[in-house]
Amino acid sequence: MLSATYLGSTRRAALSAISTGSRWLSSTLASSSASVVDASYGADRFSFSLLSSESQAALAECETNGTPLSAAAADDIAATLHDWAVSRGAVSYSHMFSPLREGPAEKHDSFLAFKSGRVTSAFTGSMLLSGETDGSSFPNGGLRGTHRAGAYTAWDVTSAPWVRSGTLCLPSVFVTHEGTPIDEKTPLLRSMEAISEASLKVLRALGDKDSTKVVPEVGWEQEFFVLDRELVLQRPDVVTSGRTLVGAAPSRGQQTDANYFGAVPPRVKAMLRDVQDELWSLGISCATLHNEVAPAQHETAPIFGVTNVAADENKLMMQVLKDVAAEHELFVLLHEKPFANLNGSGKHNNWSLTTSTGVNLCAPGSASFEQAAFTTFTAAVVHAFAHHGDLLRASVATAGNDHRLGAQEAPPAIMSMYLGENLTAHMDAVLAGGALEGYSEDARRVLGLGTRAVPPLRASVEDRNRTAPMPFIGNRFEFRAVGSNQDISTSLTFLHAAVIDGLEAISKRTDAGDSIRDAVSAVLADSMHVVFNGDAYSDEWAEEAERRGLPNNRDSASALGAIAADKNVDLLSSTGILEREAVFARAEIAMEAYSATIELEATAMLKMLQQGYLPAAATDEATTGGAASTTSFSADKAGIYGDLTAATAKLAADLDSLRGALSGEAPAAATKVAAGVASTMATTRAAADTAELVLPASLYPYPTYEELLFRHHTHSAYERA
């Protein structure tokens, strides 16, 4: 990710535009960076500069003060959007929204209107601003029903539309007939406004009278696997669940460390270049592409952006990856753990807060104000993880991410922070009565490399700790626990809520008469137990974390209940991010999604065993004589096949229990049953993987790990269809 600190005047211009209600879009970026950005950048992303000055002012007033758009302004915006979209090949429009499920939703409506008995081409302001649909057919936690199903989509006017595949796409929210959110975006937008207000109050205590807004920003890093499509379609587990439910480890995994930053295979590179081209036209800067640690694993990352826009772009990028891969006869897996015994995929969220005057509150800076503000806001983040680690853990709790967290390639389920030795020492000094100022990026060391051929390097003040869920990275904090298949909105919404609580803890003390220094010190005194600069993968840390009172919810079944905990319901509702009933609904939806995923996976695994593994084992046993053979090898093989048969029967019985729980139990109770089935699946998988190693290759019914991971690496690139 290209860090916020290094964008200088361009960044400041962007944030100034944001604070005044102006849009920071491709045309502005192109004009300020003409040597870097060519005319194709953002060609399929709408630029608000195309609007009349009156419409731009109306949108700015809407964003800044919540003033509704007049019918005339809405019609003018719609007409401009329509003409631009048609010029880009659009024949329809869609309010793209993010229901509480995997993947966005879209309904395509033609640019048509019925007027005076005739059908005409039209796109009116009312068509632009909102749509109506059935809310009961989406996950809603009881907030909707067949007898009260009304729900609305509404365009987020701060996120620029785009044209793709003949459709004008309008990033939108999704709410019930009463206006209660049943989507990912609405709470995120509310949290962004709430954290801005809480931040401004603290900034005033620090002496900042000029900032009018604080903008949360994020730069996401998307990890994924790319496989041969033909082979994937022969794996029912991958097609159904996005991961391999059975499969013995390949001979070559990641033991030689040869894949990370290695040469991208030609066929995959051609596909990723096409992805990059399409993202470029959509105004998404695919700044980084590289191999990840596991074979067939890759990563891409853009330049950071304003959080709600970045979330929209991440969802769009995930879809572009899948679509372009199909054109190359490849298949993209976004699951957090597609292959056992290999690294899984995450989506690191590089998060920061920036004022309308261009100050990054998550970077120490050189000026005394910047240093004091950095210390203050860092204290709020530390408070967030110390007191709402359970909520933050729940925000990344999914059946897929359970396989990744704590598996030596991702942070553990214990939510802790890494500050580094120098920043921790500074915080300790504040606790001892020292000033907020004093920690600066000017303390970066100069590294001499022992050769005149390479100029000296400036090292960051702190080392990098990849084992922490939320490490400090010099000018931002990196929420590393988010899963690769997740919408980043909920994790960031909950993060904002938790940080707001830290900011309010500081403000309460300054309101009571404390100095800002004393207020920050008091908050740190109550929160520094969440800071751990060591190896968070170690068993010793789990023991130490327990002594510190930090929760360790190892799986989703134990983590998701925290969403509905009293303190978290109070937090989310008091900040205006979610209504109380919406919080309870969200907890129920998350539990149901977890149980449904386990049921789906167990069903797919059982079918593969009954229709593939067991028949193959029976054929082998009949051919070799099985248990009747006098050879020890055949006797061992018969035992292995017997273990697989028994494990399959146990899985079938447990799956029946889960189906019963899903039909009759409350979501929390069904989740516990699902967790038991997940454990049974792990045992069954071990039996299946052992059987695979003794089955003759000619009898193995599915493509192996070696074939899935490496076969397409031997292919040359070919032209996109």
Q: Are 295 and 712 in contact (CB under 8 A)?
A: no
Average pLDDT of 321-345? 97
Q: How far apart, in whole angstroms, are the C-alpha atoms of residue 253 and residue 294?
A: 7
- Residue 31, pLDDT > 50, answer no
- Residue 176, pLDDT > 70, answer yes
Is residue 561 assigned to a domain? no
DSSP assigned state of 181: B
Q: What is the pLDDT of residue 9?
A: 41
State pLDDT tens for residues 430-480. 999 999 999 998 888 899 899 999 998 989 899 999 999 999 999 999 999
**Within 10 A of 342 (CB to CB), how many other CB atoms are there?**
23
Q: How far apart, in whole angstroms, are the C-alpha atoms of residue 169 and residue 131?
A: 13
- Residue 1, pLDDT > 90, answer no
Q: What does each C-alpha distance from 10 to 421, 591, 715 come to in angstroms?
A: 32, 44, 42
Is residue 259 assigned to a domain? no
Among 110-114, 270-274, 395-399, the range scoring the smallest mean pLDDT is 110-114
Of the candidates 153, 155, 100, 103, the one whose C-alpha atom is nearest the C-alpha of residue 319 is 103
Question: Longest Cα pair distance anywhere in the chain, in angstroms?
Answer: 90
Is residue 582 assigned to a domain? no
Is residue 232 assigned to a domain? no
Q: What is the pLDDT of residue 21?
A: 41
Q: Which two three-digit tokens encode residue 193?
A: 């406004």
Last residue of a domain, one of 158, 183, 208: 183
Q: Which residue has the tokens 């979610």?
A: 578
Average pLDDT of 333-341? 97
Q: How far apart, in whole angstroms, are the C-alpha atoms of residue 273 and residue 285?
A: 12
Q: Are 376 and 516 in contact (CB under 8 A)?
A: yes
Q: Are 326 and 333 in contact (CB under 8 A)?
A: no
For the chain, the C-alpha Rg in angstroms (whole number) is 27
Q: What is the pLDDT of residue 38?
A: 63
Which pTM does this prediction carry? 0.93
Residue 56 belongs to domain spanning: 42-183
Helices 566-574 and 488-511 cross at an angle (nearest 10°) of 80
Q: What is the pLDDT of residue 721?
A: 42
Q: What is the pLDDT of residue 419?
A: 98
Between strands 214-228 and 305-306, the pairing is antiparallel
DSSP string, 670-713: HHHHHHHHHHHHHHHHHHHHHHHHHS-TTT--S--HHHHHHGGG
Between strands 446-447 and 297-302, the pairing is unpaired
Per-chain mean pLDDT for the chain: 92
- Residue 719, pLDDT > 70, answer no
Looking up residue 605, the CATH number of its domain turns out to be 1.20.120
- Residue 226, pLDDT > 70, answer yes
Share of the chain above pLDDT 70, in %: 93
Is residue 218 assigned to a domain? no
Residue 236 main-chain phi, psi, to 5 deg: -60, -30
Last residue of a domain, one of 163, 183, 203: 183
Q: How far apart, in whole angstroms, are the C-alpha atoms of residue 302 and residue 350?
A: 11
Looking up residue 67, the CATH number of its domain turns out to be 3.10.20.70
State pLDDT tens for residues 567-622. 999 999 999 999 999 999 999 999 999 999 999 999 999 999 999 999 999 999 99
Average pLDDT of 260-288? 94
- Residue 34, pLDDT > 60, answer no
Burial of 650 (0-12, 13-18, 19+ CB in 10 A): middle
* 4 confidence band (pLDDT: 50, 70, 90): very low
Of the candidates 551, 539, 555, the one whose C-alpha atom is nearest the C-alpha of residue 595 is 555
Q: How far apart, in whole angstroms, are the C-alpha atoms of residue 492 and residue 504?
A: 18
* 625 confidence band (pLDDT: 50, 70, 90): low
Q: Are 616 and 637 in contact (CB under 8 A)?
A: no
State pLDDT tens for residues 651-697. 999 999 999 999 988 899 999 999 999 999 999 999 999 999 999 99
**Within 10 A of 281 (CB to CB), how many other CB atoms are there?**
18
- Residue 25, pLDDT > 60, answer no
Q: How far apart, in whole angstroms, are the C-alpha atoms of residue 130 and residue 137?
A: 19
Residues 6+ apart with CB under 8 A from 39: 30
Q: Which two three-digit tokens encode residue 351?
A: 């998060």
Among 28-37, 282-291, 702-711, the range scoring the smallest mean pLDDT is 28-37
Q: Are 552 and 545 in contact (CB under 8 A)?
A: yes
Amino acid present at 365: G
Is residue 169 assigned to a domain? yes
Residues 6+ apart with CB under 8 A from 535: 467, 541
Q: Are 285 and 300 in contact (CB under 8 A)?
A: no
Is residue 337 assigned to a domain? no
Q: How far apart, in whole angstroms, are the C-alpha atoms of residue 454 and residue 111?
A: 60
For the chain, the domain total comes to: 2
* 556 confidence band (pLDDT: 50, 70, 90): very high
Q: How far apart, in whole angstroms, are the C-alpha atoms of residue 639 and residue 633?
A: 10
Q: How far apart, in whole angstroms, are the C-alpha atoms of residue 402 and residue 483?
A: 9
**Within 10 A of 261 (CB to CB), how many other CB atoms are there?**
12
For the four alpha carbons of 196, 190, 170 and 130, in that order, the dihedral sign comes to negative
Please name every residue paired with 479 in a beta bridge, in sequence order, or none if there are none.
349
- Residue 549, pLDDT > 90, answer yes
Last residue of a domain, one of 128, 154, 183: 183
Q: Are 45 and 159 in contact (CB under 8 A)?
A: no
DSSP string, 95-149: EEB-BSSSS-B---EESEEEETTEEEE---HHHHHEEEEESTTS--TTS-BTTB-
Is residue 113 assigned to a domain? yes
State pLDDT tens for residues 69-95. 999 999 999 999 999 999 999 999 999
